[in-house]
Amino acid sequence: MSELVDVTRAELFKLVRRPAAWTLLVAAVVLSQVFGYLIPYLSYAGGGSGPMEGASKAAVLASVLPDQMVANALGGFPVFAGALALVFGALVFGSEYGWGTVKTVLTQRPGRLRVVSGQLVAMTLAVAVGVLVLLGLGAVSSTVIALSEEQSTSWPSAVDLLAGYGGGLAIMVMWASLGAALGVVLRGVALPIGLGVVWVLGVENLISGVADSVLTGLQPLRDVLPGVNAGSLASAVMPVRPPGIGSAPGVTTSVADGRALVTVLCYVAVCVVVTLWTTRRRDVV
């Protein structure tokens, strides 16, 4: 156990000093704040009906108030923030191969499984902090808007907040684990990031779109895709949106709530097993 703690501490020591990790967090924060709060608020303040066609001005304002903070934070998780989490996972694991540090790390004390386990724990902790930051900054922004517009500052219930945080964490850990598994299997960063991002931003949307329209026979396949399940899980833990406010890209109700959570957790488990097994079995050349 102490070796696992040592590895986790070493990984966290590296992560907090790694510019790429902060860059990804800043990107996620900027995306979340701009699309979750800034654009809706500007469209409200500018007097238009906002970018959401058919939504009233009051609904646009209601969508950025504190009781919607979980929806605004998690709205980006199935696609954009998810892609960033995948990049993060690929960076944490794939860079070790790119720099050749995998041999340095694996010739210290702990065995391979403990090294990878510690890295996974550190990655999960970092993602947990990232999700907390996104929710926290959303809370700040929404409260500021509510105070400036003399609207209700009431937060979601503790249960809803916890469910939102847990759901968001599960989604982001799933994407990060996919990045980690790809980073280890492909022994690098560039290819996992390229493949992963194309999958998250492109292929999933294509399959979902086709399954929803011309080829409904593809729906069973669609319903096991990671992005679709992430979107369904996000939808399950979100509050009801104000009338006329549409879902964020990727947020869907395609898969039942419980099944979405189980599928997301299954993806995490499979990725962890692949990462551990590959590292344990393969020669480090």
Partner 1 sequence: MSADTVVDVLHLTKRYSGVPAVDDVSLSVRRGEVYGFLGPNGAGKTTTLRMLLGLIRPTSGEVTVLGRRPGEAGTLSTIGSMIEGPAFYPFLSGRANLQVMARYSGVGTGQVGRALGAVGLASRGDDKFSAYSLGMKQRLGVAAALLKDPDLIVLDEPTNGLDPAGMRDMRQLIRELGDSGRTVILSSHMMGEVQQVCDRVGVIDSGRMLVESTVEELRGEGELVVRGAPADVARTTLEQLECVQDVRVVDDGLRVRVEESRTGEVTRALVLAGVDVREVRRQERELEDVFFEITASGGDHV
Binding residues (CB under 8 A) for partner 1: these are 2-3, 6-7, 9-10, 13-14, 17-20, 99-101, 103-112, 114-115, 283-285
**Residue 2 or 213: which CB sits closer to partner 1?**
2
**Residue 109 or 206: which CB sits closer to partner 1?**
109
Query: Residue 180 Cβ, how far from partner 1 at the closest point, in Å?
Result: 17
Query: Residue 232 Cβ, how far from partner 1 at the closest point, in Å?
Result: 38
**Residue 19 or 217: which CB sits closer to partner 1?**
19
**Residue 83 or 122: which CB sits closer to partner 1?**
122
Report the distance separating Cα 43 and Cα 41, nearest Å: 5
39, 161, 180 from 49: Cα distances, Å? 12, 29, 42
Query: Residue 27 Cβ, how far from partner 1 at the closest point, in Å?
Result: 18
**Residue 101 or 216: which CB sits closer to partner 1?**
101
**Residue 13 or 157: which CB sits closer to partner 1?**
13
Query: Residue 95 Cβ, how far from partner 1 at the closest point, in Å?
Result: 8
Burial class (CB in 10 A: 0-12, 13-18, 19+), 205: middle
Query: Residue 220 Cβ, how far from partner 1 at the closest point, in Å?
Result: 40
Counts of helices then strands in the chain (DSSP H, E): 14, 0
**Residue 1 or 159: which CB sits closer to partner 1?**
1
Asked if residue 197 lies in contact with residue 75, where contact means CB atoms within 8 angstroms, the answer is no
Residue for token digits 């808007």?
A: 145
Asked if residue 64 lies in contact with residue 39, where contact means CB atoms within 8 angstroms, the answer is no
Query: Residue 97 Cβ, how far from partner 1 at the closest point, in Å?
Result: 10
Report the distance separating Cα 19 and Cα 120, nearest Å: 19
Report the distance separating Cα 178 and Cα 181, nearest Å: 5
Query: Residue 26 Cβ, how far from partner 1 at the closest point, in Å?
Result: 16
Query: Residue 165 Cβ, how far from partner 1 at the closest point, in Å?
Result: 29
For the chain, the straight-line distance linking the first and the last C-alpha, in angstroms and rounded, comes to: 28
Asked if residue 138 lies in contact with residue 37, where contact means CB atoms within 8 angstroms, the answer is yes
The tokens describing 1, both together, are 């156990």
DSSP codes of every residue in 56-109: -HHHHHHTTSGGGHHHHHHTTTTTHHHHHHHHHHHHHHHHHHHTTHHHHHHTSS
Report the distance separating Cα 58 and Cα 232, nearest Å: 27
**Residue 104 or 216: which CB sits closer to partner 1?**
104
